[in-house]
């Protein structure tokens, strides 16, 4: 995955082992639809035998977020979770019973969001929309 080298360089970050490991682990998790906290990441790295400090995990995550390589979510109070920045924006529907996550995108909603922001004199930097849902009848 030499492409990751370029991503780091383009972000003005030196290509180091810790950064590559973190990027790769986060990438794998994201493909599984997992959102990892700094601590999650730190533990998984340790389990894989990597000797990366927790402070480094935090620093690197912040740098990746700034470089827009990853996205930070504050779903729960108290800590953040991260996922790779998706190529294409999408919103989430979460089944409250199974925790299954369904991704979707609706152009009309996107359009109106921008319209609303504009009406208030703002431009949208980014946005989040989470629908907490339950299956109709048969659960």
Partner DNA sequence: TTGGTTGCAAACAATTTGCATAAAT
Partner DNA sequence: ATTTATGCAAATTGTTTGCAACCAA
Q: Tell me how far the alpha carbon of residue 115 is from its chain's centroid.
A: 26
Nearer to DNA, 27 or 63 (CB): 63
Q: Give the range of 9-17, 29-37, 48-56, 112-120 binding its own copies by CB under 8 A.
A: 112-120
Q: Cα separation of 96 and 110, whole Å? A: 24
Taking the least distance from each CB to DNA, the nearer of 23 and 30 is 23
Asked if residues 69 and 7 have their Cβ atoms less than 8 Å apart, the reply is yes
| Contacts of its own copies in 89-108 (CB under 8 A) | 93, 95-96, 102, 104, 106, 108
- According to CB under 8 A, which residues from 33 to 72 bind its own copies? 72
Q: Which residues contact 21 (CB under 8 A, 6 or more apart)?
A: 45, 48, 50, 52
Region of 3 on the Ramachandran plot (φ > 0 left; ψ -120 to 50 alpha; else beta): alpha
116 sits near its own copies (criterion: CB under 8 A):
yes
Taking a C-beta distance cutoff of 8 angstroms, is the pair 124, 117 a contact? Answer: yes
Residues 27-56 that bind DNA (CB under 7 A): 37-39, 51-56
Q: Which two tokens stand for residue 108?
A: 């009309």
Residue 19 interacts with DNA (CB under 7 A)?
yes
Q: Which stretch binds its own copies (CB under 8 A): 10-18, 21-29, 46-54, 123-131?
A: 123-131
| Binding stretches for DNA (CB under 7 A) | 9, 13-19, 37-39, 51-56, 58-60, 62-63, 77-80
């Amino acid at each position: 995955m030499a492409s990751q080298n370029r991503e780091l360089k383009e972000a003005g970050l030196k290509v180091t082992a810790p950064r590559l490991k973190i990027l790769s682990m986060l990438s794998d998790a994201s493909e599984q639809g997992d959102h990892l906290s700094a601590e999650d990441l730190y533990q998984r790295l340790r389990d894989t035998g990597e000797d990366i400090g927790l402070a480094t995990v935090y620093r690197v995550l912040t740098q990746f977020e700034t470089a827009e390589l990853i996205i930070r979510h504050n779903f729960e109070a108290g800590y953040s979770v991260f996922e790779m920045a998706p190529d294409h924006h999408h919103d989430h529907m979460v089944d409250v019973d199974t925790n299954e996550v369904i991704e979707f995108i609706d152009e009309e909603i996107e359009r109106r969001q921008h319209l609303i922001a504009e009406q208030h004199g703002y431009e949208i930097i980014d946005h989040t929309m989470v629908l907490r849902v339950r299956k109709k009848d048969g659960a």
